[in-house]
Structure 1
Amino acid sequence: MNFDKKYGAAAAMVMLLSFVSTSYAAFDENLQGYTLDTILVEADATKDKFGNTITEQSYYRTGGDVKVITREEIEKRHYTDLTEAIKRIPGVTFQNPGYRGGEYGYEFYNNGVSINGDTRVIILVDGRRVDNAASTRISSRSTSGSKSTGVNLDQVTNMANVEKIEVIKGPGASVYGADALGGVINIITRKGGNDNVGSIDLATGSWDKHKYALSYSGSAGNDKSWHYFISANRDMSGDTKYKDGYTGTTGTLGGSKWKEDGVNLRIDKDFNEKQSLKIWYNFKQGKDGYPIATPSLRYWNQDDWQRIIFNAAIGQLDENNKLVGGKLSGDAKNPGYHNLYALDGAAYGSFSRFKNNDWDITYTFDKENGMESFVRIYDQNHRYAHRDKYKWNLATADDYKTLFPNGATNEQLQQWISENLAPFPGGDKDILKEWVAKTGGAASEPTSWREEKNRGIQLQYAKSVGVNDIIASITYDKAKNFSKSISNKDNSVTTSHVDRKTIRGYIQDKIHINDKWDITPAIRYSKYSSFETTNAAGRTQGKGDTHEITPVINTQYMFDDTSSMYLGWTRVFRPLRQGDYTTNDGVFKTPLLDEKGDAWTLGIRKDISDKTSLAVHYDWTKMSNAIATLPIWDDSKDEFSNTAVNAKEDKKSFNITADHRFDDHVMLSASYSHMKDEWKAKNGWILDPNWGYQNSSDINVAINSLRPQNHYSLNLSYENRKLYTGLLTNWYTGCSDYAFTNNRFLVLDWNLNYEITKDMTAYVVVTNLTNEAYETSYNSWNGVGSSAMPSRCVMVGMQYKF
């Protein structure tokens, strides 16, 4: 089925849903009323005249496809983390195969998020970027792995601290950065209200998963001008279970247990209607196992284990068990290869640690027409460490050849393997413990770690002048990435660090042409300094000095009280990372250039009736300088060679959403999303016409085959006095057999919320209700199904408010 036909079918499906009846349906769930800066917003005031949901940050936007998850929805659906909350939003996918940890610098072993197929997503807290310009947190290079800004979404803050989550698709809010090509996820924190209230939330469920959360907020002073919010939480889990896509059986992901703690504090002082002070502190830390991959259960047996580990650690045997070939690595050469990673997690207990200490002080000195003028200073201190330990063998290939120069009997081979190679982790546990003990024991505390420090100051001034709402801001940011290790000789700590300074300037003018039409031109300046490295040898200045001016224009128009549209264009600029300068620039030794391009967005909203709403969003990105690893003809080798180059990228995405309220109790939201990428070589280079999936571990290169082609979603909710229940259906189709265990996946999540008394609520949350076997990502080295998502998980909890 071609691209246009898919759009037509999806549009017909959603239009049919739209016309079945009449009701008012907001584009965001639970907008009956919510809090906006301690002010209770009534249902009829939650949206502006164009249909945009109003939030503390909405004055930056002019149109765009924006979804808002409110505090009310978070509490009714009992989301345990940020990725769980945003997965109901059309076009948003994430990689989270059942464990929380990850190895620093490796995207595929960390949680990742994409919007409309693009991982270039900016994460914000209260409108402030939380990435570090010198970080190598999630892949140090743009040429492979994720192109994200290096933020693990689930490690930003705990859910008790979240008032709302804005998800902005595409670069529609350009104030946040010219590199927000995929979109923006803005976490708006909670501010204490006028009344003193507290909450205790306890839950337990599958896999010894537990949740403990406490929060208290309120106001102080005779005029109640002081507001405070404090929360503390602990979340923990035993080893996750997963459903294998090939065998249909459920397995345990050994070594995936985790425990995370968090504390948040926010103090606000309202001096008057226009001036206020905010002091915010965020602490979060965790010790998380990371088993790297979910074992393939079709190879999870004693015989296959011995085949896999012998081929990987020793070499290849002939029919007489004579060593005749070298080692075999990777799933393609050695099927089930990634099962060996079970030694890291299940046997040796490999793990990662992180600790975040963040603070932010903002003084708002003026408020006008919904806009704020403020000065903000902030500081981020993040520490990451991991310990990956494993031991495959005690003997070598030479030892085997010396003992069996002409081959061995099957009995001799089995005996040699049992004495010299790691035992099967799914077998005798005592034998496995004995192996771990004689090879040095389990993973100990890390002796090296990374510390990312980020300090900055931001000044924003906003003013209404006639029909013009003008916002100007400038931010200075100094990022450092420390690498530290403990010496084995004298326990001294050696350290080196990389610095990068950033200046971002921005000015926007939202022009109210008339009551129906706004147009917002903006211009942004971004300046990145060179990467500067300081170590024992001294200070060296590397590459990276770059700057760019990026214009933006957005507009929205209201046809009548029931329909509106938006249109936008932005110039894209994404600077190279440090790793792009320190690695080989390809077989042609051609220096890589910063990513640049143009992005257009177009959307239409329509209230079909007072009960049914329809929204269509389309964006088109043409990158003239996107970075990719592509097979290019190499004259020196007379063959095609994979190399990192600046290529052309043509990306299109399409979302259509219909919201329908049947009555006062039942609401349905239906959506369809489709993304398509085309990559082309530039500068006269010849791209291999037969290229299919080389370097397919880079999801940004072979993206059309390495992610589901189509995403359908149905979100059904029912509310009647004390009872609230919701069912989320995600249906992924068009999945390539090359990258997935099936070409379609149907995943259901369900929750039930019942108010026992005014202050006590009981709830049940079930994720993956039908225990579907599915994946959202693929890695060619580890093979198909190596990132299986968690199986059914049931959580039962109680929330008490006091």
Structure 2
Amino acid sequence: MKRRYTAAAAMMMVMGLCASASAAFDENLNDYTLDAMVVEADAVKNKFGDTITEQSYYRTGGDVKVITREEIEKRHYTDVSEAIKRIPGVVFRNPGYRGGEYGFSSYNNTVSINGDDRVIILVDGRRVDNAASTRLGSSGATQNKSTGVNLDQVTNMENVDKIEVIKGPGASVYGADATGGVINIITRKGGQTNRGSIDLATGSWDKHKYAISYSGSAGSDNSFHYFVSANRDMSGDTKFKDGDTGKTGTLLGGRYKEDGVNVRIDKDFNDKQNLKIWYNYKDGKDGYPICTPRLRYFNAKDWADTAFKLTTGILDENNKIVGDPLWWNGNKLPGYINMFQVDGAFGSYNSFKNNDLDIQYTFNKENGMDSFFRVYNQTHTYTGRDVYKWAKDSQGNFYGNTSMVLRDEYNKLYPNGATAEQLQQFIKDHIVPFPGDEDAMKEWVKENGGVGEPNRWNIEKNRGAQLQYAKTIGQNDIIASVTYDKSKLYSKSIRNGVTNVSHTDRTTITGYIQDKIHASDKWDITPALRYSHYKSFNTSTGGNKIDGKGASNEFTPTLNTEYMFDDTSSMYFGWTKIMRPIKQGDYTNTDTYQSVPLDDEKGNVFTLGVKKDITDKTTVAVHYDWTKMSNSIAKLPVVHEGSLVYSPVNAKEDKKSINLTLDHKFDEHFTLSASYSHMKDKWMAKDGWSLDPSWGYKNPQDVNTAINSLRPANQYALNLSYENGKLYTGLLTNWYTGCSRTAFTDKQFLVLDWNVNYEFTKDLAAYLLVNNLTNEAYQTAYSTTYGGASMPGRCIMVGMKYNF
């Protein structure tokens, strides 16, 4: 049932209806909720053809995609990353399993937009990162600059109404460091009628999904709205396809279990004033397998050979020790990474727990813009256990990986060498049995500690307040805001019986003002200015205080404009001066020998795009993005005084990307979206730096670093959907090419995801999901130590959803 339109909403409707009846840039816009009203079809578009959301008044132009609740319902996405991976230019790098170790980018799921990791994650327009966080190290080999948010840990999908993806800095209100773009998760609000849903699914690898929600309104005037949801997602150990052998393997420790609860309460006082209270709880315990095994060497013989060479020594043909162990050069052994399966067998894990509270009072709405005061409090706790035990003597005492005691034990038992059987038995008793021998491994784990308490803790807290005032004056829509944020990080770890404790806090104050000038009915110009003040880190480690690092103050202007040539074509242009402040993670791996601290990352981003309706059923678009950094932080191998050292340095960066998209509606049943994305980075050393020539650069000053080899150069996507009455089905095809064989097992890979949804009645639907339909062997992340991380193989889920 449609509600009364507010004046602002009515204006949006008129603007949307003026747009041409073009093919939708965003899928499933047939039934669309925009805050307190329900709109349909082209009514959710503005005059430029851009999809309107609750926070779209911030942006002007840009390449914006919106995932709607209708699409989420029909495709049954299980997490945010699954929902947005169909969007051109969005690439995920993850280690092949669910969770990730705090502070290490190699083990975490990260997202990039047009090749840039500087992506800001929002919930209802509010940043959810922590300025003191080291959730993801920024100086990893992949040049990760993530803001430290794992998309899949933000909130559960039952809580999501829309996902707005903004490429480039088109919404710089969210931060001067939004270089790659913004992902804004808009939460669900209770509607006019009371209704609930139960969603149950099961599938491969003991994978299960349980979700329930209930929402509605109360009061004599239905001005009180509520939405409540709870969910559980869980899985056994992940299966994967090995790109080297073509065999299917099991990722020991790839299991997970995640729970979530969400509550949103809204009180509408009138058309312009309302109060929103949102609470989010989410926790999970994810296995920690560290890396994907190489199945070619995952057998008892190669396991024994690798384990012995790593921990005890080198053997001759008679199995007599003739050389020292190779632990510190273990990556020279082809089966080296297989040894980390012991972590999974011992139950190593990473867990998280989020408690988020957001209270917002909107005191005025004008021309679709909100004036509000908001307070928020976030507490995110990360714990983990990374334990494995091997190499023990006959008395059951464990020793270091290069233990001479273990070597003496072997020489005492077999001074003249050992038979193959004796060697296998020694390894089984004194080092670690082959994980493929499940009974022996279970017994080893049981005898030697097994699953236990965590040995590291990280607690992130940040509290803040935001005031925004918006006013329309003639042709000008003016927005001004100020935000205060206090971030803290508490860390504790226990290693070899020694407890280490540290504490870091950082205060941030930002101010923002923008003026959206409606120069004509075809042209909008939006200049804006942001002020960012970051206090220095106040860090205490083991009683020692380290203060005075990272302070910065910066004004960053931006200019965005959009012009409509006619009812079928428009273009946009944007420029933003960007600044990513130094983070604690940059100092965690501080430069090896520089006496001058690292500088903040600074540069400029330019975007240019054109959209054109070829016919009333076909739309094409081009988006170009250019980032030019004068100071970008990269961890590079630097030759210093004749030695090679790895050091974070300020380098120049030149990144360019392009997206081409085509949307076509064949008829009332079939729709198609096709896209091509290409991105390229060029890193250049500053004067005086020389880099390791073995990396293959054209010359020491041409630093085209490994970032381009650690991701596909090209991405082709094809999204085909069919809807006919009660049946809906969709096929998503992602084809990645230009992959380096250094990082990937193939130069290209094709990944298919398929879903079917059938409505038996208006309240009961059944669905089938198949991810990685052809069981493709592929990787999205690479580590110089652990190699490429194989992604999950074919996963089939069947489920039913009941509305009541």
Give the alignment's TM-score, normalised by structure 1.
0.92
Amino acid at match of 1:309: A
Q: Once the 2 structures are TM-superposed, how far is the Cα of residue 120 of structure 1 from its aligned partner? A: 1.2
Moved more, 93-102 or 195-204: 93-102
Q: 2:470 aligns with which of 428, 447, 462?
A: 462
Q: 1:794 aligns with which of 771, 793, 796?
A: 796
Deviations 1:517-567 (A, max 9, x none): 111111111111111124673755241111111110011110100000000
State the secondary structure of the residue aligned to 1:80. Answer: coil
Distance 1:588 1:364 in 2: 49
Q: 1:372 aligns with which of 367, 370, 373?
A: 370
Q: Once the 2 structures are TM-superposed, how far is the Cα of residue 240 of structure 1 from its aligned partner? A: 1.0
Is the contact between residue 483 and residue 497 of structure 1 (CA under 8 Å) also seen in structure 2?
yes
State the secondary structure of the residue aligned to 1:52. Answer: coil
Amino acid at match of 2:407: Y
Aligned to 2:719: 715
Aligned to 1:281: 279
Is the contact between residue 139 and residue 145 of structure 1 (CA under 8 Å) also seen in structure 2?
no
Q: Once the 2 structures are TM-superposed, how far is the Cα of residue 140 of structure 1 from its aligned partner? A: 6.0
Q: Once the 2 structures are TM-superposed, how far is the Cα of residue 580 of structure 1 from its aligned partner? A: 2.3
Moved more, 229-238 or 107-116: 107-116
Amino acid at match of 1:530: S
Q: 1:423 aligns with which of 408, 416, 433?
A: 433
Q: In the alignment, is residue 600 of structure 1 matched against residue 598 of structure 2?
A: no
Aligned to 1:404: 411
Aligned to 2:450: 442
CA shift in 2, pair 1:418/1:703, >3 Å: same
Distance 1:375 1:231 in 2: 26
Distance 1:223 1:79 in 2: 35
Task: Note the aligned Cα RMSD (angstroms).
Answer: 2.3
Q: Once the 2 structures are TM-superposed, how far is the Cα of residue 112 of structure 1 from its aligned partner? A: 1.4
Amino acid at match of 1:792: R
CA shift in 2, pair 1:138/1:270, >3 Å: same
Is the contact between residue 382 and residue 459 of structure 2 (CA under 8 Å) also seen in structure 1?
yes
Q: Once the 2 structures are TM-superposed, how far is the Cα of residue 407 of structure 1 from its aligned partner? A: 5.9
Mapping 1:132-281, distance limit 5 Å: 132-139=130-137, 141=139, 146-281=144-279
Amino acid at match of 1:454: N
Q: In the alignment, is residue 516 of structure 1 matched against residue 518 of structure 2?
A: no
Distance 1:728 1:144 in 2: 27
Q: In the alignment, is residue 569 of structure 1 matched against residue 575 of structure 2?
A: yes
State the secondary structure of the residue aligned to 1:703. Answer: helix
Q: In the alignment, is residue 433 of structure 1 matched against residue 439 of structure 2?
A: no
Q: Once the 2 structures are TM-superposed, how far is the Cα of residue 599 of structure 1 from its aligned partner? A: 0.7
Distance 2:461 2:692 in 1: 43
Aligned to 1:737: 741
Q: What is the percent sequence identity of the aligned residues?
A: 67
Q: Once the 2 structures are TM-superposed, how far is the Cα of residue 678 of structure 1 from its aligned partner? A: 0.6
Is the contact between residue 312 and residue 406 of structure 2 (CA under 8 Å) also seen in structure 1?
no
Distance 2:21 2:364 in 1: 40
Amino acid at match of 2:444: W
Amino acid at match of 1:567: F
Aligned to 1:340: 339
CA shift in 2, pair 1:144/1:667, >3 Å: closer
Amino acid at match of 1:557: Y
State the secondary structure of the residue aligned to 1:776. Answer: strand
Q: 2:648 aligns with which of 634, 644, 648?
A: 644
Deviations 1:317-357 (A, max 9, x none): 34453232341456741112111111111x21111221111
Aligned to 1:16: none
Deviations 1:566-601 (A, max 9, x none): 001111100111132344313444421111111100
CA shift in 2, pair 1:390/1:688, >3 Å: closer
State the secondary structure of the residue aligned to 2:380. Answer: strand
Aligned to 2:324: 325
Q: In the alignment, is residue 656 of structure 1 matched against residue 660 of structure 2?
A: yes
Aligned to 1:679: 683
Distance 1:524 1:571 in 2: 10
Q: Which runs of 5+ in 1 are unaligned?
A: 1-21
Amino acid at match of 2:795: C
Distance 2:668 2:177 in 1: 42
Q: Once the 2 structures are TM-superposed, how far is the Cα of residue 316 of structure 1 from its aligned partner? A: 3.1
Q: In the alignment, is residue 482 of structure 1 matched against residue 490 of structure 2?
A: yes
Aligned to 1:101: 99
Distance 2:416 2:373 in 1: 75
Distance 2:228 2:611 in 1: 39
Distance 2:519 2:332 in 1: 64
Is the contact between residue 230 and residue 260 of structure 2 (CA under 8 Å) also seen in structure 1?
yes
The number of residue pairs the alignment matches comes to: 768
Q: Once the 2 structures are TM-superposed, how far is the Cα of residue 736 of structure 1 from its aligned partner? A: 0.8
Is the contact between residue 106 and residue 145 of structure 1 (CA under 8 Å) also seen in structure 2?
no
Deviations 1:351-385 (A, max 9, x none): 12211110000000111111110000000011110
State the secondary structure of the residue aligned to 1:572. Answer: strand
Q: Once the 2 structures are TM-superposed, how far is the Cα of residue 688 of structure 1 from its aligned partner? A: 4.5
Aligned to 1:12: none
CA shift in 2, pair 1:262/1:782, >3 Å: same
Q: Once the 2 structures are TM-superposed, how far is the Cα of residue 269 of structure 1 from its aligned partner? A: 0.8
Is the contact between residue 331 and residue 781 of structure 1 (CA under 8 Å) also seen in structure 2?
no
Q: Once the 2 structures are TM-superposed, how far is the Cα of residue 94 of structure 1 from its aligned partner? A: 1.1
Mapping 1:77-96, distance limit 5 Å: 77-96=75-94
Distance 1:442 1:689 in 2: 45
Q: Once the 2 structures are TM-superposed, how far is the Cα of residue 769 of structure 1 from its aligned partner? A: 0.7
Q: Once the 2 structures are TM-superposed, how far is the Cα of residue 505 of structure 1 from its aligned partner? A: 0.7
Q: Once the 2 structures are TM-superposed, how far is the Cα of residue 402 of structure 1 from its aligned partner? A: 6.8
Aligned to 1:558: 564
Q: Once the 2 structures are TM-superposed, how far is the Cα of residue 404 of structure 1 from its aligned partner? A: 3.1
Distance 1:314 1:83 in 2: 44
State the secondary structure of the residue aligned to 1:73. Answer: helix
Moved more, 537-546 or 36-45: 537-546
Q: In the alignment, is residue 501 of structure 1 matched against residue 507 of structure 2?
A: yes
Is the contact between residue 143 and residue 580 of structure 1 (CA under 8 Å) also seen in structure 2?
no
Moved more, 759-768 or 284-293: 284-293
Q: Once the 2 structures are TM-superposed, how far is the Cα of residue 34 of structure 1 from its aligned partner? A: 0.2
Aligned to 2:41: 43
Greater RCO structure (CA 8 Å; 6+ sep): 1
CA shift in 2, pair 1:140/1:383, >3 Å: farther
Moved more, 625-634 or 538-547: 538-547
Deviations 1:6-51 (A, max 9, x none): xxxxxxxxxxxxxxxx994111100123000031112121111111
CA shift in 2, pair 1:536/1:620, >3 Å: closer
Aligned to 1:778: 782
Aligned to 1:10: none
Distance 1:659 1:514 in 2: 28
Distance 2:687 2:102 in 1: 35
Q: Once the 2 structures are TM-superposed, how far is the Cα of residue 669 of structure 1 from its aligned partner? A: 0.3
Aligned to 1:473: 481
Is the contact between residue 532 and residue 541 of structure 1 (CA under 8 Å) also seen in structure 2?
yes
Deviations 1:136-156 (A, max 9, x none): 112265786521011111010
Distance 1:386 1:670 in 2: 41
CA shift in 2, pair 1:352/1:66, >3 Å: same
Distance 2:532 2:147 in 1: 15
Moved more, 288-297 or 391-400: 391-400
Aligned to 1:525: 531
Is the contact between residue 311 and residue 325 of structure 2 (CA under 8 Å) also seen in structure 1?
no
Give the alignment's TM-score, normalised by structure 2.
0.92
Is the contact between residue 213 and residue 228 of structure 2 (CA under 8 Å) also seen in structure 1?
yes
Deviations 1:217-271 (A, max 9, x none): 1111111111111101111111111111011111111121111111100011111
